[in-house]
């Protein structure tokens, strides 16, 4: 059953909520623009097509790209190229070089690409190849906006392609899985992490039978591993998918792994009959005789068996529901009660199945739903500000909000990658090892029951978050162009009538900086305590009105200084105090 839709215009609060969750963060002007739209109009803009493929990164040592062309001895070492790839990803999330009309749609696509990375995760140090990391990332990008693409583009097909992707083969030892010595690593994670899972966390009874995982068993892991046997890495990146136009973008095609042996004799593939348990209705998988070469398995017969396996897994209703739980936790909220699972998540799963397992229709429906905006009658416990920003969302979202600039990635690649290397280090200090999660389940905040996103916060991590903001605003030691100019931001985005009124300015900024900013007042007796309290507003006001001198009338002094800019250094210092107070607040860590 489709999710009930939200009616009416969004307003600034819901517009900000949508743009923070669906993209890597909006500017104030983008929030204002979306505030006048309905949810349907807003979603149409976020998912507009077509969008350009990213401009490839440039190796500073050669001045040319290496991901498609390959590397030579003239290139930087691959350890450096891997870091350049990650720096390039920051540029994609920021939409560097993207036309303003495409900025938000581009950011939406990149948010989905990163979501898919949190599901079908990878670990840089294990994969240890910049081109493998890139081609997997580009694979996700090809499947991110799938609604108007041929039926072949859907989550089922993506799962099939990931299963023979070079990065995944390396991460989970698929390249070591051969007939007679089957490696079960990928098969186990395919079932437990990537597809059907064990069920809704927090509701499962203790396991009583060894090897029984509720939705699958050890027998299914072994059978799946046999199906997946016989593949190896293609370190030349010349083995590409042969399905017509599947990976075509101009002249670019995406490589994958290759079968051991050759295309007509996949000699390391187990071509026996694979028997699954009663959890999959005792199904069997075996080679299609028409695809064999005599009695020998072929590349096509091995691919067909993988296709049979993925179709079998997705034939179970629980697979669609488990995938939609991942969507819900990433875009809505970490806690899924049994009621939410049986209503909202079940509705999302029904939409996924009804749309041939395409991801985009599910997201479009979710972002237009009453539930996403908590607009249903009787709702009094909404999820605005309910998610702790990941370090990535904090960093990229802050840059996007304040239009913080980076060097041109193609014109000045060395300077660009120097800055993005600093961003990677800052993410690590905030608790996120970018492209280096601790295990194959991915970043803890997206899967680890029951703490989920609370894993982002510790005393040290919180201090590093605040240091990041302080360095952007106040620290002249932060390199290059990566600075927030509070004076320019207020001059550009806030009317003079509001900017000159200290209380009005605090309230206006709170609307765009913080997630809960309804019915704001400085009067503690009139405060409804529904969100940001009068006590917090007064704290921001006090921090703001500090000045190097004692003002008998601080608010009047601010109005005079703003309207008569003879001492802009004091104005700047006061605005820096205000921005630091608001952006280093616990509330700014939420969205």
Residue-by-residue DSSP string for 396-465? HHHHHHHT-----TTTSHHHHHHHHHHHHHHHHHTT--TT--SSTT--GGGT-TTTGGGGG--HHHHHHH
Residue 242's pLDDT is 72
Residue 480's pLDDT is 53
Residue 531's pLDDT is 78
Give the span between the Cα atoms of 587 and 591, in whole angstroms: 8
* CA 20 and chain centroid, separation: 11
Residue 251's pLDDT is 54
Overall pTM > 0.75 = yes
Give the span between the Cα atoms of 547 and 573, in whole angstroms: 7
Structure tokens at 510: 């709170």
If we measure between CA atoms, which residue out of 250, 257, 238 comes closest to residue 142?
250
* Ramachandran area for residue 171 (φ above 0: left; ψ -120 to 50: alpha; else beta): alpha
Q: Give 309-332 pLDDT, tens digit per residue.
A: 999 999 999 999 999 999 999 999
Residue 385's pLDDT is 85
For each successive 10 residues of the chain (591 residues), what is the average pLDDT? 90 95 97 97 93 94 96 98 98 95 96 98 98 97 94 96 98 97 98 97 84 95 98 95 60 86 97 97 97 96 98 98 98 94 97 98 97 67 82 97 94 96 96 95 93 93 96 69 90 97 97 88 84 92 88 94 90 96 96 93
**Number of other residues whose CB lies within 10 A of the CB of residue 189:** 20
Strand (E) positions, 172-259?
A: 231-232, 258-259
Cβ contact 53:45 at 8 Å: no
If we measure between CA atoms, which residue out of 343, 352, 335, 330 comes closest to residue 371?
343
């Amino acid at each position: 059953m489709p999710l009930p839709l939200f009616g009416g215009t969004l307003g600034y609060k819901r517009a900000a909520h949508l743009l923070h969750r669906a993209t890597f963060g909006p500017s104030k002007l983008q929030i204002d623009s979306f505030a006048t739209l309905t949810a349907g109009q807003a979603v149409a803009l976020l998912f507009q097509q077509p969008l350009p493929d990213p401009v490839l990164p440039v190796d500073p040592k050669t001045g040319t790209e290496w991901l498609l062309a390959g590397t030579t001895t003239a290139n930087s070492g691959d350890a450096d190229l891997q870091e350049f790839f990650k720096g390039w990803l920051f540029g994609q999330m920021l939409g560097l070089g993207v036309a303003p009309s495409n900025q938000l749609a581009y950011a939406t696509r990149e948010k989905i690409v990163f979501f898919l990375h949190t599901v079908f995760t990878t670990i840089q140090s294990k994969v240890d190849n910049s081109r493998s990391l890139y081609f997997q990332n580009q694979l996700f990008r090809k499947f991110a906006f799938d609604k108007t693409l041929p039926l072949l583009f859907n989550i089922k097909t993506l799962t099939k392609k990931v299963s023979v992707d070079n990065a995944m083969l390396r991460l989970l030892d698929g390249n070591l899985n051969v007939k007679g010595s089957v490696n079960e690593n990928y098969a186990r994670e395919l079932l437990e992490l990537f597809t059907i899972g064990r069920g809704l966390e927090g509701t499962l009874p203790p396991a009583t039978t060894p090897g029984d995982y509720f939705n699958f068993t050890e027998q299914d892991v072994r059978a799946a591993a046999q199906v997946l046997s016989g593949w190896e890495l293609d370190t030349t990146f010349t083995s590409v998918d042969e399905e017509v136009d599947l990976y075509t973008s101009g002249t670019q095609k995406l490589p994958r792994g290759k079968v051991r042996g050759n295309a007509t004799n996949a000699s390391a593939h187990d071509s026996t009959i694979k028997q699954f348990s009663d959890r999959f209705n005792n199904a069997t998988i075996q080679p299609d005789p028409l695809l064999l070469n005599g009695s020998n398995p072929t590349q096509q017969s091995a691919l067909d068996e993988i296709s049979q396996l993925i179709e079998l897994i997705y034939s179970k209703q629980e697979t669609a529901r488990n995938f939609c739980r991942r969507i819900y936790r990433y875009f809505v909220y970490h806690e899924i009660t049994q009621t939410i699972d049986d209503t909202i998540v079940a509705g999302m799963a029904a939409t996924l199945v009804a749309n041939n397992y395409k991801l985009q229709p599910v997201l479009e429906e979710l972002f237009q739903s009453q539930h996403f905006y908590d607009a249903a009658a009787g709702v009094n416990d909404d999820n605005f500000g309910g998610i702790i920003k990941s370090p990535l969302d904090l960093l990229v979202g802050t840059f996007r909000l304040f239009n913080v600039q980076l060097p041109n990635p193609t014109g000045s690649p060395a300077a660009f990658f120097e800055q993005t290397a600093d961003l990677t280090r800052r993410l690590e200090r905030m608790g996120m090892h970018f492209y280096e999660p601790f295990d194959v389940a991915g970043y803890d905040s997206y899967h680890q029951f029951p703490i989920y996103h609370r894993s982002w916060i510790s005393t040290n991590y919180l201090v590093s978050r605040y240091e990041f903001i302080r360095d952007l605003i106040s620290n002249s030691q932060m390199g290059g162009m990566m600075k927030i100019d509070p004076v320019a931001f207020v001059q550009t985005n806030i009317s003079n009538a509001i900017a000159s009124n200290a209380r009005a300015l605090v309230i206006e900024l709170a609307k765009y900086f913080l997630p809960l900013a309804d019915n704001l007042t400085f009067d503690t007796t009139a405060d409804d305590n529904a969100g940001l309290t009068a006590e917090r507003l007064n704290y921001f006001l006090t921090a703001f009105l500090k000045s190097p001198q004692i003002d008998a009338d601080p608010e009047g002094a601010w109005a005079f200084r703003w309207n008569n800019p003879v001492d802009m250094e004091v104005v700047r210092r006061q605005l820096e105090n205000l921005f630091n107070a608001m952006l280093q607040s616990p509330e700014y860590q939420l969205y």
